[in-house]
Structure formats: C-alpha cells, structure tokens
C-alpha cells in the first residue's frame, strides 16, 4: 500500500517531537542550575552582610564601654552614653536581620538543590571574583548557538511543515496492491490446479465536504504560527541578553566605584575615633562616622554579589551553564530525632 508519504510524515513528526522533548529537558536542567547558582550567591551575600554587621556591633560595643567608663569618671554626659547604647541596639538589630537572611537563604538553597529545608548545608566561599570580558555581540552570537529554544523553534517549524505535507497527501488516492495464491486439489487423485490471484485497488474520495481543504489550511496556519513564534522568541531572547549584559556591566562598575567610599569612610572613622579619644569629637560625630562606614561596607558587598547574580543571569539568558568549579555547596543532612 502506498499513501504518498503520509505515514513517513507522521514518523518524522514523532522524531521531531522526541528531539523537542530532549531539548526542553536540557533547558530544564539549565533552569535548575541557574536557580541553584542564584540561591548560592544569596547565601554568600547574606554571610558577607553578617560579617559587616558583626564588625559594626564590635565597634559600637567598644564605644559604649568607653562612654560608660568616661561617664563614671565624670568626663562625659549621660546623653552621649545613651546615644552609644542606641547605636549598639541598632547594630545588633542589623546583625539579627543579617543572620535571619542567611538562614532563609540557606533554606532556599536547600529547596533549589532538592534537599530538606532544615538540612545543614555548608557553602564554600568564592576564592576570587570571576572576570568578564565578553562583548554584547559575542553574547548574542553565543545565545543563538546555545539557547535550546532556538532549536526547539526550528524543529517545531519542521514539524509544522511535515503536517502540511501530511495534509496534502489526503488529496492523493490510496493505492492498495493485494494478491494471494490458491492450491486447489480436485477429488480425482493427482488432480490439482494452482490459481494465482492479484489485484490493485485505487481508493480516492472525490467529495468530502471541504474537509481536506480545511485540514490543509489549518496545517498552513500552524506553519505560519510557528514562524511567527520563532520570530517573537528571537526578539525575546535578544532582549534578555541585552538586559542581563547591561546590568552586568553596571554591576561591575559599581564594584570599582564602591572601593573609594569604603576606604574614605574607614579613614574618616579612624580620624574621628582618634579625635574622640582626645576629647575633640562628639559622640554624635563618632556614631555618624561608624554608620557611614557600615553603610559603605554593605553597599560594596551588595555590589559584588549583584555582579555575580547578573553574571549567572547572563549565562542563563545565553543558554550556557559554565558555572565556576569552586562554586559548590556540600550538604550535610541534619540529624534525625529519635
């Protein structure tokens, strides 16, 4: 029997569907890797914020102890002591918030990995900040090669073309060749005759109320829809890469520009602290200098991990998942209660 390629077209459509499923599975793995990387960076960010808050608490407690000592000696007013205590409370509040954020980010990392939220997960720190020297054009070219959605779109178009070909085969007749062989024996001993019979049948529906034309038009519509979706997908991916690239460049610049405020506020705090020891600076000036140094440190740490998050976002937008080899998290299951 011949159907002018109808079954072959359906077979090719099945192959294309299998290819699309494999591509979608690969993109799903990239999505999981991206979610784990973002959760990992969030844990590192919370840890860095916690270290800054711990340093702030330590400095504020030292100033509070000194202010209390000077008050006992009658060299400092009660109001300044109260201000130093308020600053200690504010620093401890910042530390509490950082510790809570770290615990939440660890739970989110466990969730992204597939562990229990309550598991104890040890996260290794980054040995160094990864660099980035790619151009926007290079990123777009890499996205065209690596994004699985492009391959899925191409295979979807191929499937739609096969569907259009299948719809066209309905206009052709079905040619069925059949045959059989009869070994006929008569009642007379030794009497027999062989009868070969063959036939060729042609089936062709001449009028079906426009069903074939409608199916052909539907197949053609699916093909045009697949082409339009592929074009929209190209624009969407180009926008994603552009957005992630611009944010990455801005985050990289923020790191460079955040170094100067850290150094300046650290030096200002040192000078104001020395003046305070000599009695030339007020408690308010010391508190303001400490706040400025803490704020600059937090902004610098935020810029670093914003850069890492933007780099992960760009990798995901390009369809790559070449995470750094040292960016790993080892999970240690929590002890079960008896």
pLDDT for the residue 4: 59
Query: Can you give the length of the chain in residues?
Result: 338
Write the CB contacts of 220 (distance below 8 Å, at least 6 apart in sequence): 164, 167
Note the pTM of the prediction, 2 decimals.
0.67
pLDDT of residue 219: 75
CATH number assigned to the domain covering 6-332: 1.20.1600.10
List per-block mean pLDDT (blocks of 10 residues) for the chain, which spans 338 residues. 63 73 78 86 89 88 79 72 83 89 88 84 78 84 80 75 70 69 62 68 65 73 76 83 90 88 88 78 79 88 89 86 44 38
pLDDT at 215: 73
3-state secondary structure of 202: strand
HEC readout, 61-101: HHHHHHHHHHHHCCCCCHHHHHHHHHHHHHHHHHHHHHHHH
pLDDT digits (tens, 9 = 90+) for 41-69: 889 889 888 988 888 888 888 888 877 87
CA distances from 175 to 2, 3, 178, 198 (A): 5, 7, 10, 14
Q: Directed axis angle between helix 148-169 and helix 211-278, to 10°?
A: 170
Which pLDDT value is given to residue 100?
Answer: 92
Q: How far apart are CA 134 and CA 330, in angstroms?
A: 31
261, 300 Cβ separation under 8 angstroms: yes
Contact 132, 11 (CB under 8 A): no
């Amino acid at each position: 029997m011949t159907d002018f390629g109808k079954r072959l077209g359906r077979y090719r459509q099945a192959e294309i569907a299998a290819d699309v499923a494999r591509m979608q599975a690969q993109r799903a793995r990239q999505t999981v890797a991206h979610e784990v990387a973002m959760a990992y960076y969030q844990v590192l960010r919370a840890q860095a914020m916690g270290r800054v808050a711990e340093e702030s608490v330590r400095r504020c407690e030292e100033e509070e102890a000194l202010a209390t000592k000077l008050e006992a000696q009658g060299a400092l007013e009660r109001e300044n002591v109260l201000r130093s205590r308020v600053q200690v409370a504010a620093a401890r509040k910042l530390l509490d918030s950082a510790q809570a954020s770290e615990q939440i980010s660890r739970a989110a990392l466990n969730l992204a990995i597939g562990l229990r939220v309550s598991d104890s997960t040890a996260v290794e720190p980054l040995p160094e900040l990864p660099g980035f020297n790619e151009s926007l054009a290079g990123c777009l070219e890499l996205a065209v090669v690596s994004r699985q959605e492009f391959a899925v779109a191409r295979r979807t178009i191929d499937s739609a073309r096969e569907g259009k070909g299948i719809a066209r085969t309905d206009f052709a007749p079905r040619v069925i060749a059949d045959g059989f062989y009869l070994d006929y024996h008569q009642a007379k001993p030794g009497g027999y005759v062989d009868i070969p019979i063959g036939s060729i049948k042609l089936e062709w529906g001449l009028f079906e109320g426009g069903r074939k034309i409608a199916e052909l038009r539907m197949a053609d519509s699916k093909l045009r829809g697949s082409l339009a979706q592929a074009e929209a997908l190209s624009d969407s991916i180009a926008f994603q890469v552009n957005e992630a690239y611009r944010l990455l460049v801005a985050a990289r610049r923020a790191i460079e520009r955040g170094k100067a405020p850290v150094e300046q506020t650290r030096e200002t705090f040192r000078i104001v602290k020395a003046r305070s020891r000599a009695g030339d600076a007020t408690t308010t000036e010391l508190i303001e200098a400490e706040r400025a140094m803490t704020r600059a440190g937090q902004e610098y740490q935020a810029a670093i991990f914003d850069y890492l998050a933007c780099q992960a976002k760009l990798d995901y937008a390009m369809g790559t998942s070449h995470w750094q080899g040292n960016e790993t998290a080892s999970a240690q299951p929590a002890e079960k209660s008896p």
